[in-house]
Amino acid sequence: MPELPEVETTRRGVAPHVDGREIKAMLVREPRLRWPIPDDLPAMIEGQRITAVHRRAKYLLFHTAPGYVLLHLGMSGSLRLVDPAEPAAFHDHFDIVLSGDKILRYNDPRRFGCCLWQPAGEAHPLLVGLGPEPLSADFDGDLLYRRSRGRRGPVKSFLMDQKIVVGVGNIYANEALFLAGIRPDRAAGRISRARYQVLAERVKQVLTSAIEQGGTTLRDFVGGDGKPGYFAQQLFAYGREGLPCKQCGKKMQESRISQRTTVYCVACQR
């Protein structure tokens, strides 16, 4: 599933090519995504100019004067810039035709993504109640410590709670906890402020590095330029169950936490 670095990589890839461009048309081939594409969306955005492309959590926001298109890549979605002459593939569900002879094309084999509309001046319901961005100054160890008090659930589930902090998905939660030396199954409320400070720093480190590498390609992900990410080559935990720990050499262990694959080192994480 595309996580925050993959979505940010996509934003950085497409933004320079769509900022300031007029939307000439929207061609919808398959409206049945996680939520149906609104029937009137093509008419609402036709003739509008894209003024900015922002990311909030794992959502992309394409701003125009009357409102914004809210896009989520789901589990297998990708957004690419293509030439008008390039034929659509089977899972290319919609095109946004831009001035300057470019098309923004959305591909999603599993159709778990979404493309919705929100009028200007209002927050979309999907964005209400989200926690701070992990790369912002609002996210730090003090915030994690305060919000973790009294929580008995595992720290990994706590870190992946979008109301606590947005965008830390399964891959990067595994990595940040490994680098912070914290066992993912430890009770969130039993971790000290000092250790949460380290964890917050490692979250920022892991996400920043992944963005610089263009994300992590595990199955379907490619960036806005159609190229895969390379952060998978640097993973310390995720996907390395049964392999030697890169730090101590002991066999990496696997368990399930909140129905998600969790990999950790019994020697390096406590």
Query: Domain ranges in the chain?
Result: 4-127, 141-264
Look up 36 and say whether it is catalytic.
Answer: no
Spatial distance between the Cα atoms of 198 and 176, rounded to a whole number of angstroms: 9
pLDDT of residue 235: 87
Question: Same fold for the domain at 4-127 and the one at 141-264?
Answer: no
Coil vs helix vs strand at 159: helix
Which entry of 8, 11, 55, 58 is annotated as an active-site residue? Answer: 58
Residue matched to tokens 């081939």: 29
Known active-site residue 260: yes
Assigned fold of 4-127 = N-terminal domain of MutM-like DNA repair proteins (3.20.190)
Residue of 24, 56, 111, 260 with catalytic role: 260
CATH of domain 141-264: 1.10.8.50
Q: What is the pLDDT of residue 83?
A: 93
- 3 state DSSP class of 201: helix
Predicted TM-score (pTM) of the model is 0.87
How far apart CA 75 and CA 123 sit, in angstroms, is 24
Give start and end residues of each alpha helix (H) in the chain.
Answer: 4-18, 41-45, 141-148, 155-159, 170-180, 193-212
pLDDT attached to residue 222: 41
Residue 244 annotated to the active site = no
Burial class (CB in 10 A: 0-12, 13-18, 19+), 140: middle
In the chain, which stretches have pLDDT less than 70?
1, 215-233
- Point out the catalytic residue in the list 2, 5, 134, 154: 2
User: Was 32 annotated as part of a binding site?
Assistant: no
What pLDDT does 220 receive?
38
What confidence score (pLDDT) does residue 122 get? 86
Is 152 a known ligand-binding residue? no
Tell me whether residue 58 is one of the annotated catalytic residues: yes
Is 186 annotated as ligand-binding?
no
